[in-house]
């Protein structure tokens, strides 16, 4: 196996007296979808924020393609090819798809001494990138607010991919979506993975994880409970680990295995 | 390879996406409310004040000048509002800049061009301070600039009384004779064209008095030229440049914009400075035109600017709006204010009329915006 794209080794993060992460280790290989599962409060958000440069870890090492790195800001992480798509902060609904897609990296066209936003190029690229992900826009200048939640996530994902992400972190991309939209997002994750990008898929929904995941890591109370490859573990086991054992086993019986 | 998949993919349209007629698409834009308002207002005044001289050349210059005044400060307020902030200190800034210019020229004897440059630098520094405080404290700009509304107005009156024992300083015109910058703010352009138009009989001539034989309209005031220049600049900046995209992003969602690397703080501070600059353009034009400055100039102008911007379709919370809309809002404002005077209507009704237009425009704008952005 080649060197992982990113490897986080025994990461600890303390906020004053609170220990949010107490030894989390995860690695992501090229072209794999690594699912990070955990219940609310397990430390998923803190962990991805550490990975994307928002928080600095209190202890542990981050290795990008085998080399140890320190991220001082989200910008550093982005330059190292680590892109994060946040659940709520993916897009600005009042702005057009093109304006959102290129936000912060607008292509420019020189006209005499002035530089203008090159809308012709920007619209064309946006349309074709979206079509590649299976979304057909009416026009690139329609507002993101007119898109569904799943489509918005897809715009954010294809933006990250277009701008050269090597590792894509998705923060609960399916948690607020309906069935159709969820399957669209899962299909998008599959397409991204096939391009050789490493995907970190954060979720608390085991079924969504099982649908696309290659490896699964369960977080509980700030620690990794272990990583398992696809086929080595059953959905029920994952579910149980996430919930921390017994309690759910009793529930499971009364709910008939529906959770 | 990529091209072939693309060609295969593009033609099959999503059955859920309804086709939009080109007419509907052309109509549905942020300025639609302001365009309708402008048409309505013009029809109204053509109906009630056609014979009053309102649409004769001198009448047009009259309401055009008033509209241009509103437009100058509305452009600044518009870009700032789209960036997600307010500036309530615009009116006080107008009084402040005017007094600075008058004091420096008349009282202290500096050349006018120097006084104008100093006024611009001071105003933009105060604008930057406004922005810096808003960003550093995280307080709403509404509060920070409200504080500056009082601070600046008080300071202006104090400085004026402390140095001249008056709140009105006259004599600026006399000391500015032949100044290179003064003409840029106070003069008129295209005078030759109006003489020619008068000779053709299109524009009337004075028949008696000291100016007999000269055209009644002797040129386009620089105020209008400034308004037009600022509108064009603001519109291109907002819709056609990278910086314009950052203005939208900063107001639309500060956090999302920061995550993708938009320098939100810089954008906001620059927009505060631009708003202060527009206020100073207004003040300088006014001082050069009247030849005097008064400490109470610009009272309530901040609200008139905000009203113009809102009539023009901008969202009060930022992230959405149009400079052209704001300019049309200013036009509506100016036409209504002067038109009621031409129509001989009791001037107190101006406020009633304005309130009604504001309400109608905002209701229409909200509806249009929902159609465009899918906001619920």
**What are B172-220's pLDDT values in tens digits?**
888 888 888 888 898 788 877 887 887 777 777 777 777 777 777 778 8
What is the span of the domain harbouring residue B127?
Answer: 57-193+220-373
pLDDT (0 to 100) of residue A246: 52
C-alpha B78/C-alpha B295 separation (Å) is: 25
Structural domains of chain B, count: 1
CA distance B15 to B18: 7
Q: Of B179, B175, B164, which is closest to residue B103 (Cα–Cα)?
A: B164
Full strand arrangement of the beta sheet holding A59-64: A18-28, A6-15, A59-64, A67-69
What six digits make up the tokens of B150? 């009082």
Nearest residue on chain A to B374, alpha-carbon basis: A146
The DSSP output letter for B205 is B
| A188, B100, B141, B354 from B275: Cα distances, Å | 44, 18, 13, 24
CB of B49 closer than 8 Å to CB of B217? no
Non-local CB neighbours of A245 within 8 Å, separated by 6+ positions: none
pLDDT at B13 over 60: no
Residue A102: list chain B partners with CB under 8 A. 245
Mean pLDDT of B239-258: 93
Q: Which of A88-97, B164-173, B200-209, B258-267 has the lowest mean pLDDT?
A: B200-209
B22 within a domain of the structure (yes/no) = no
In this prediction, residue B4 carries a pLDDT of: 39
Share of chain A above pLDDT 90, in %: 15
> Per-residue pLDDT tens for B129-186?
999 999 999 999 999 999 999 999 999 999 999 998 988 999 888 888 888 888 889 8
pLDDT in tens, B57-91: 888 989 999 999 999 999 999 999 999 999 999 99
Domains identified in chain A and CATH numbers: 6-91+166-255 (3.40.50.300)
pLDDT band at B256 (very low <50, low <70, confident <90, very high): confident
Asked whether residue B215 is assigned to any structural domain, the reply reads no
Alpha-carbon gap, residue B328 to B312, rounded angstroms: 6
Give strand ranges (E) for chain A. 6-15, 18-28, 33-38, 59-64, 67-69, 82-85, 108-111, 114-117, 167-171, 198-203, 215-220, 223-229
* Residues 6 or more apart in contact with residue A120 via CB below 8 angstroms: none
Rounded Cα distance, A71 and A54, in Å: 8
pLDDT band at A66; cut points 50, 70, 90? confident
Contacts of A94 in chain B (CB under 8 A): 248, 252, 315, 319-320, 373, 375
Q: Cβ of B245 and A103 within 8 Å?
A: yes
DSSP A151-173: HHHHHHHHHHHHTT-SEEEEEST
- The CATH number of residue B127's host domain is 1.10.3470
User: Alpha carbon of A255 to those of A259, B42, B167: distances in Å?
Assistant: 7, 69, 81
At A146-185, the pLDDT tens digits run: 888 888 888 888 888 898 889 999 988 887 787 888 888 8
**ipTM (interface pTM):** 0.82
| Residue B183, in any domain of the structure | yes
Cβ partners under 8 Å of residue B90, min gap 6: B73, B76, B77, B275, B276, B278, B279, B298, B301, B302, B305
Classify residue B206: in a domain, yes or no: no
CB-nearest partner of B256 from A89, A127, A137: A89
Instruction: Name every residue whose Cβ is closer than 8 Å to that of residue A64 and which is 6 or more positions away in sequence.
Output: A5, A6, A80, A81, A82
Q: Write the CA distances from A93 to A52, A97, A133, B260, B344, integer angstroms.
A: 23, 9, 20, 15, 47
CA neighbor of B120 nearest in space, from B98, B103, B89: B98
- Name chain A contacts of B2, Cβ cutoff 8 Å: 132
B252/A115 CB distance under 8 A: no
Side-chain half-sphere of A153: how many Cα atoms within 13 Å? 27
Rounded distance between C-alpha atoms, residue B284 and residue B305, angstroms: 17
Please indicate whether, in this complex, the C-beta atoms of B6 and A116 are within 8 angstroms of each other. Answer: no
What residue spans of B28-166 are helical by DSSP H?
32-49, 57-82, 90-102, 112-137, 141-164
Chain A hits for B24, CB-CB cut-off 8 Å, are none
- Whether A252 shows a pLDDT value over 60: the answer reads no
Beta-carbon separation of A95 and B255 below 8 A: no
Is there a contact between A32 and A193 (Cβ–Cβ < 8 Å)? yes
Q: Considering the domain boundaries, does residue B18 fall inside one?
A: no
Q: Considering the domain boundaries, does residue B15 fall inside one? A: no
In a domain, B69, yes or no: yes
Burial A156-173, CB ≥16 within 10 A → b, else e = bbbbbbbeebbbbbbbbb
Residues of B in contact with A117 (CB under 8 A): 240-242, 244-245
User: In this predicted structure, what is the pLDDT of residue A243?
Assistant: 72
Taking an 8 Å cut-off on Cβ atoms, the answer to whether A117 and B241 are in contact is yes
Closest partner CB to A74 (pick from B259, B372, B375): B259
At A105, is the secondary structure helix, strand, or coil? coil
């Amino acid at each position: 196996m080649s060197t992982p794209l990113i490897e986080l080794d025994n990461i600890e993060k303390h906020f004053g007296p609170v220990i949010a992460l107490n030894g989390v280790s995860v690695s992501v290989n090229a072209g794999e979808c690594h699912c990070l599962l955990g219940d609310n409060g397990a430390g998923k958000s803190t962990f991805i924020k550490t990975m994307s440069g928002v928080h600095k870890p209190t202890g542990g090492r981050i290795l990008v393609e085998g080399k140890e790195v320190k991220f001082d800001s989200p910008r550093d992480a982005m330059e190292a090819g680590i892109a994060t798509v946040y659940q709520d902060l993916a897009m600005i609904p009042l702005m057009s798809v093109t304006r959102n897609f290129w936000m912060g990296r607008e292509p420019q066209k020189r006209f005499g001494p002035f530089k203008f936003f090159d809308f012709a190029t920007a619209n064309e690229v946006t349309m074709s990138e979206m079509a590649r992900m299976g979304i057909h826009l009416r026009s690139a200048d329609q507002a993101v607010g007119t898109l569904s939640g799943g489509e918005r996530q897809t715009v954010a994902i294809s933006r990250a991919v277009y701008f050269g992400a090597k590792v894509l972190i998705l923060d609960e991309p399916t948690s607020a979506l309906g069935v159709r939209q969820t399957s669209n997002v899962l299909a998008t994750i599959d397409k991204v993975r096939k391009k050789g990008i490493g995907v970190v898929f954060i979720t608390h929904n085991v079924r969504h994880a099982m649908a696309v995941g290659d490896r699964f890591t369960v977080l509980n109370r700030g620690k990794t409970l272990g990583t398992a490859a696809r086929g080595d573990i059953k959905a029920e086991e994952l579910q149980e680990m996430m919930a921390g054992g017994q309690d759910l086993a009793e529930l499971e019986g009364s709910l008939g295995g529906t959770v | 390879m990529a091209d072939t998949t693309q060609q295969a993919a593009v033609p099959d349209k999503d059955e859920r996406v309804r086709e939009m007629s080109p007419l509907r698409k052309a109509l549905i834009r942020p300025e639609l409310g302001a365009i309708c308002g402008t048409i309505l207002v013009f029809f109204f005044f053509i109906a009630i004040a056609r014979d009053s001289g309102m649409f004769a050349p001198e009448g047009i210059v009259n309401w055009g000048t008033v509209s241009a005044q509103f437009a100058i400060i509305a452009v600044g307020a518009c870009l700032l509002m789209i960036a997600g902030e307010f500036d309530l200190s615009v009116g006080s800034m107008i009084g402040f800049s005017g007094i600075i210019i008058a004091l420096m020229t008349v009282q202290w004897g500096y050349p006018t061009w120097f006084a104008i440059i100093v006024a611009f630098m001071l105003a933009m520094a105060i604008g930057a301070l406004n922005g810096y405080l808003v960003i550093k404290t995280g307080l709403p700009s509404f509060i920070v600039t409200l504080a500056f509304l009082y601070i600046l107005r008080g300071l202006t009156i104090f400085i004026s009384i402390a140095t001249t024992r008056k709140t009105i300083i006259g004599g600026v015109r006399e000391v500015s004779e032949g100044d290179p910058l003064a003409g840029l703010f106070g003069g008129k352009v295209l005078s030759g064209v109006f003489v020619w138009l008068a000779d053709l009989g299109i524009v009337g001539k004075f028949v008696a008095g000291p100016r007999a034989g000269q055209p009644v309209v002797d040129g386009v005031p620089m105020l209008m030229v400034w308004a037009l220049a600022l509108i064009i600049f603001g519109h291109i900046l907002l819709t056609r440049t990278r910086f314009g995209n950052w203005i939208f992003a900063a107001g639309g969602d500060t956090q999302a914009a920061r995550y993708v690397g938009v320098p939100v703080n810089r954008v906001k501070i620059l927009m505060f400075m631009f708003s202060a600059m527009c206020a100073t353009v207004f003040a300088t034009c006014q001082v050069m035109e009247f030849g005097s400055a008064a400490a109470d100039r610009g009272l309530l102008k901040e609200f008139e600017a905000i009203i113009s911007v809102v009539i023009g379709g901008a969202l009060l919370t930022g992230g959405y709006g149009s400079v052209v809309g704001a300019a049309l809002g200013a036009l509506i404002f100016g036409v209504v204010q002067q038109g009621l005077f031409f129509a001989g209507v009791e001037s107190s009704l101006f406020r009633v009329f304005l309130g009604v237009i504001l309400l109608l425009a905002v209701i229409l704008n909200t509806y249009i915006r929902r159609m465009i952005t899918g906001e619920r």
